Structures are given as structure tokens and as C-alpha cells.
């Protein structure tokens, strides 16, 4: 099932037919003659290591945890820089992360080097942005972090309990909503350059409503990402695909965190 997350929008690569090796080779038959004798001691052990390694939930959890840890450490290191030095790294990190994210998404790169490099770049950008917000609004970052983890945990519970099922219709609605949100953001940005701001980011009532909508879309995108991970496991995707899933989840969570941070700043104003 397709996901609204840009990282998952093209699905995942084929990982074979998803069939696992059996308990040993079956006895061969000879046509026109008696069946050949099967030696049970010559069959491979069922406990022997298999050549193919398939994706498991432990792989997804472990690789996602490592990816998020790298992001947090990079953000903390950026925040710790003296003065305004963080902003000297923020803009280049954001631009490189944007390009790298597109490459990972469209080429479906699933390896630790690409995912962790993206995580470190995102951490630098998030660290600088968080420091700027926290300077103007003390304590705001911690509130945004708690809110992000709350939304993530809540959507995970909703998904695991089946309270909201990921169906093709729901997927179409979320993908459509995400495209609409991105178009509005782009129009607002371009309009602002020419003095025709739509008021989506000025902190007024329209901006608050728009941020709530964006947070809702990002939250529901997590459902599709969770479902994509389950689907990859069911289809027998390779274990390395866990790095691609971790990348996609990081994209959504960072988007969610920054939007919650922006919304909280509106209420402070």
C-alpha cells in the first residue's frame, strides 16, 4: 500500500517472492522409473543459517532508534555551539539534506551511510531552529518535543489497536491532503515574496487553523508509514530496507516537530 511520506511514495523494492527455505530438499522423482532414495542425513539442518536475511520488526526498531539518536546528538551539538555559530551551519545543512532526501526517496537508497548522513544533517538544521525558537520563547522546545512524542505514541497505539485501519480510501485522502498542504505552503511562500501573503504563517487565527491541519496530516502520515513497515515485513523485504523505513519515519517526525513548534509559538505570541 502506498504511503503519503515522500520516502515511501514509490513503495519498496522487490525482495524476492517472500518464500522462506523449507526443512530440506524434497526427494527427487525420476520419470519412468523408481523414485531415487532420499537420505535424511544429507538434508540441510533446519537450524542452519539461511543465505537470505529478511526484514523483521526488530530491524525496523533498531535502525530507527539509531537514526533518531544521530539526529538528536547532532541537534544537541549544534545547539551547544557558542553565539550564533549554529546558523552558519544551518542553511547549508538544510540545503544538502533536502537534496540528499530527494536522492534517497527517488532512488530508494537503503543503506546506513545515506540514512545516517541525512539524520546528521537534519539534526544540525533542527538544532539551530530549536535554539532560535527557545531563545525567543524559553521552554518552547521541550513542550514541542513532548507534543511530538505524544502524537507519535498516540498514532502508534491507534494503528496497533486497529482503531483506524489503513485502507486504500484513507490513503488517497491523506495523500491528497498532503499535496494540498504543500501547494498552499508554496503559494503562501511565493505570494509573500510579492506582498500577497495568505496569512498562513503570520500567527493569526488562519495560521493557527492551518498549523492544526498540517499537524493532523503529518500525524495520519505516520499511520501510512507504520503500515508500510508491516507490509515490507510481510512481503519479505531485505533486512537493509529497515534503513529506508527509518529515513521515511524521520522525515515525518521532523516535519511534525517543526509544525508543533510553530503552533506553540503562535500561542505564546
24: left (phi over 0), alpha (psi -120 to 50) or beta: left
Phi, psi (rounded to 5 degrees) for 57: -65, -35
Q: Map grid coordinates 535424511 to a residue.
A: 40
Tell me if residue 238 falls in helix, strand or coil: strand
Domain assignment present for residue 27? The answer is no
Domain assignment present for residue 39? The answer is no
- Select from 132, 40, 28, 118 the least CA-distant residue to 79: 132
Range of the domain at 137: 54-268
Rounded mean pLDDT, 202-224? 92
Domain assignment present for residue 104? The answer is yes
Long-range contacts of 196-205 (CB under 8 A, 24+ apart): 201/262, 203/265, 203/266, 203/269
Write out pLDDT tens, residues 68-121.
999 999 999 999 888 777 788 888 999 999 999 999 988 888 999 999 999 999
Write out pLDDT tens, residues 36-74.
454 444 444 443 444 468 899 999 999 999 999 999 999
Cα(224)–Cα(222) distance, rounded to whole angstroms?
5
Cα(263)–Cα(269) distance, rounded to whole angstroms?
10
**Count of structural domains within the chain:** 1
End-to-end CA distance of the chain: 41
Predicted confidence at residue 31, as pLDDT, reads 42
Cα(130)–Cα(108) distance, rounded to whole angstroms?
29
Q: Which of 70-74, 234-238, 247-251 has the lowest mean pLDDT?
A: 234-238
Entry field: residues in the chain: 269
Residue 15 has pLDDT above 50, yes or no: no
Cα(200)–Cα(209) distance, rounded to whole angstroms?
9
| 28 confidence band (pLDDT: 50, 70, 90) | very low
Write out pLDDT tens, residues 180-192.
998 988 888 888 7
Predicted confidence at residue 138, as pLDDT, reads 92
204 grid coordinates: 493569526
Proportion of the chain above pLDDT 90, given as a percent = 55
Q: Give yes or no for a contact between 119 and 68, defined as CB atoms under 8 angstroms apart.
A: yes
Domain assignment present for residue 65? The answer is yes
Query: Is-above-0.85 flag for pTM?
Result: no
13 grid coordinates: 523494492
Residue 145 burial by Cβ neighbours in a 10 Å radius (0-12, 13-18, 19+): middle
Domain assignment present for residue 47? The answer is no
Tell me if residue 15 falls in helix, strand or coil: strand
Amino acid at each position: 500500500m502506498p504511503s503519503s511520506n515522500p520516502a515511501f511514495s514509490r513503495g519498496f523494492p522487490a525482495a524476492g517472492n517472500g518464500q522462506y527455505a523449507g526443512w530440506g530438499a524434497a526427494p527427487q522423482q525420476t520419470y519412468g522409473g523408481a523414485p531415487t532414495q532420499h537420505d535424511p542425513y544429507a538434508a540441510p539442518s533446519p537450524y542452519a543459517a539461511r543465505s537470505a536475511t529478511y526484514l523483521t520488526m526488530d530491524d525496523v526498531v533498531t535502525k530507527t532508534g539509531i537514526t533518531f539518536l544521530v539526529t538528536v546528538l547532532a541537534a544537541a551539538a549544534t545547539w551547544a555551539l557558542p553565539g550564533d555559530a549554529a546558523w552558519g551551519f544551518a542553511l547549508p545543512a538544510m540545503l544538502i539534506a533536502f537534496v540528499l532526501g530527494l536522492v534517497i526517496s527517488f532512488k530508494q537508497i537503503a543503506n546506513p551511510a545515506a540514512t545516517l548522513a541525512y539524520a546528521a544533517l537534519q539534526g544540525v538544521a533542527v538544532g539551530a531552529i530549536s535554539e532560535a525558537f527557545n531563545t525567543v520563547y524559553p521552554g518552547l522546545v521541550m513542550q514541542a518535543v513532548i507534543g511530538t512524542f505524544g502524537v507519535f505514541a498516540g498514532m502508534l497505539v491507534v494503528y496497533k489497536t486497529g482503531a483506524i485501519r489503513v485502507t486504500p480510501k484513507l490513503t488517497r485522502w491523506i495523500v491528497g491532503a498532503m499535496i494540498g498542504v504543500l501547494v498552499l505552503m508554496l503559494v503562501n511562500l511565493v505570494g509573500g515574496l510579492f506582498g500577497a501573503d495568505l496569512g498562513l504563517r503570520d500567527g493569526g487565527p488562519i495560521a493557527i487553523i492551518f498549523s492544526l491541519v498540517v499537524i493532523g496530516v503529518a500525524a495520519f502520515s505516520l499511520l501510512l508509514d507504520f503500515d508500510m513497515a508491516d507490509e515490507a515485513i510481510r512481503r519479505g523485504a531485505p533486512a537493509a530496507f529497515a534503513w529506508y523505513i527509518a529515513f521515511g519515519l524521520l522525515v515525518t517526525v521532523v516535519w511534525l516537530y517543526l509544525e508543533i513548534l510553530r503552533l506553540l509559538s503562535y500561542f505564546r505570541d
